[in-house]
Amino acid sequence: MLTSLKPLLEPAIKHSFAYGAFNVNSVAQVEAAIRMHEIFKSPVLLQGAELANAFMAGRTDFMNGTLEEKAKGMKIIADAVRKYGEDSPIPVVLHLDHGHSFESCKAAIDAGYTSVMIDGSSKPIEENMELTREVVKYAHAKGVSVEGELGVLAGVEDNVFAESSTYTHPLDAVRFVKNTGVDALAISYGTSHGAVKGKNVKLRKEIAIAINECLSHERLFCGLVSHGSSNVPAEVVAEINELGGQIGESHGIPIPQLKEVIQIGGIRKINVDTDIRLATTRNIRNLFVKHPEVLNDDLVAAIYEIMKKNPAAFDPRAYLIPIMDTVMYGTIPTPAVQKLVDAIKDAIMEVTGKMIVEFGSYHMAHLVKTRSLEELAQEYQA
Ligand SMILES: [Zn+2]
């Protein structure tokens, strides 16, 4: 059943566990991720970023997508989530990752997203709060949960680049949550976007702990969110490079540090995107090497050519362009494309399965008191 983030946060806060929030860029990933969570009896939290939505509308130069195109992609992805999630025995959430304007959050909600993030973190705090409040008002009236962001992460995510991070001030975080009524808050405490998070990252766990303590003293309900938290496993990067890729120096966030902030720092949602991209690239390169007969297929051969020209690329959106109908609608035109889609599915199942177990959402679906958006809207009103 589809629900918002709020019912998922309740048991996670009570029992100190977290959910991986997984970015999806194709129908096949939606299907496979939901299936994996069903097998593990974990609630599922899928997310689409603004650029992913432009891509899902068929805009291959997704950096230049218009709001109309993003809205079309939002609808396509929401339809896929409904198709595989509506009758699922586990709670299913579709969340907008890094919404950058009220209009884009509204478009996502209207398309069927059940949760949105409004990222006003590049603005001064007063403006950020004003924008966030506006989104909360619209979203909560429809039972949709809202994640805000305070503080700036280093690194590149979609088209947003921050040279260096500015950690979240715990007292500002309390003021922000009180003032806006957000359900979740993304904080800056040492994680960063992308595949190069710096060698030997040490999270400033004290920041998460301080924010979490302050929020509970004020009796504010809010799950903390860790962005830019991919693990970037060295073994997967090595495998890609052995299979003809050329991924340079890359570092992720060590899982033991994330487990610590789940235990004591109130982190309840952990965004994972890069790991899925890496595993997908590894699986597809492996398919080319182990089953070269797939290259007799024109569509797969076209993908192979793109990857050959860009050995450093690991964002599947860069090389899946020849099969956009498959990406957007899940159509399988040839047996070779089916093999490629299986590789994509295996990748997201590997990463989601791992994180479900590591972050502690394994077998937690029964703890969620799932409510429909209509019921949640009434709750927010009360
Ligand atoms: Zn992010």
Residue 211 has pLDDT above 60, yes or no: yes
Inter-residue contact 21 to 14 (CB < 8 Å): no
Residue 156 has pLDDT above 60, yes or no: no
User: Could you tell me the pLDDT band of residue 155, with boundaries at 50, 70 and 90?
Assistant: low
| DSSP at 2 | B
| Predicted pLDDT at 202 | 86
Average pLDDT over residues 223-237: 95
User: Could you tell me the pLDDT band of residue 153, with boundaries at 50, 70 and 90?
Assistant: confident
Cα–ligand 1 centroid distance for 374 (angstroms): 28
Cβ neighbours, 10 Å, residue 289: 10
Average pLDDT over residues 51-80: 95
Residue 164 has pLDDT above 80, yes or no: no
Cα–ligand 1 centroid distance for 184 (angstroms): 13
Residue 329 has pLDDT above 60, yes or no: yes
Q: What's the mean per-residue pLDDT of the chain?
A: 95
Query: Which of these ranges, 41-45, 157-161, 255-259, 344-348, has the smallest mean pLDDT?
Result: 157-161
| Predicted pLDDT at 193 | 85
| Predicted pLDDT at 152 | 85
Cα–ligand 1 centroid distance for 71 (angstroms): 20
pTM: 0.96
Cα–ligand 1 centroid distance for 231 (angstroms): 14
Among 199, 135, 181, 186, which residue's Cα sits nearest to residue 160?
Answer: 186
Cα–ligand 1 centroid distance for 282 (angstroms): 23
List the domains of the chain with CATH numbers: 5-233+250-273+355-369 (3.20.20.70)
Query: Which of these ranges, 51-55, 109-113, 352-356, has the smallest mean pLDDT?
Result: 51-55
Cα–ligand 1 centroid distance for 352 (angstroms): 17
Residue 258 has pLDDT above 50, yes or no: yes
| Predicted pLDDT at 158 | 47
In the sheet with 154-157, reading across from the earlier edge strand, the strands are 160-162, 154-157, 192-193
C-alpha angle 248-254-258 in degrees, rounded to nearest 5: 140
Cα–ligand 1 centroid distance for 237 (angstroms): 21
| Predicted pLDDT at 163 | 57
Average pLDDT over residues 81-97: 98
297 is catalytic: no
Residue 373 has pLDDT above 80, yes or no: yes
Average pLDDT over residues 236-257: 95
Distance in angstroms (rounded) separating the CA atoms of residues 225 and 324: 32
| Predicted pLDDT at 162 | 56
Of residues 97, 183, 275, 297, which has the active-site annotation?
97
Share of the chain above pLDDT 90, in %: 92
For the chain, what percentages of helix, strand and coil (3-state, to nearest 5) are there? Answer: 55, 15, 30
List all residues 6 or more positions away from 139 whose beta carbon is below 8 Å from its beta carbon.
Answer: 105, 109, 116, 145, 146
CA–centroid distance for 40 within its chain: 19
Cα–ligand 1 centroid distance for 270 (angstroms): 10
| Predicted pLDDT at 189 | 93
Inter-residue contact 114 to 346 (CB < 8 Å): no
Helix axes 125-141, 102-111, angle to 10 degrees: 20
Residue 105 has pLDDT above 80, yes or no: yes
Q: Phi/psi of residue 105, each to 5°?
A: -65, -40
Average pLDDT over residues 56-84: 96
Query: Which of these ranges, 103-117, 156-170, 322-336, has the smallest mean pLDDT?
Result: 156-170
Cα–ligand 1 centroid distance for 251 (angstroms): 17
Cα–ligand 1 centroid distance for 189 (angstroms): 13
| Predicted pLDDT at 159 | 45
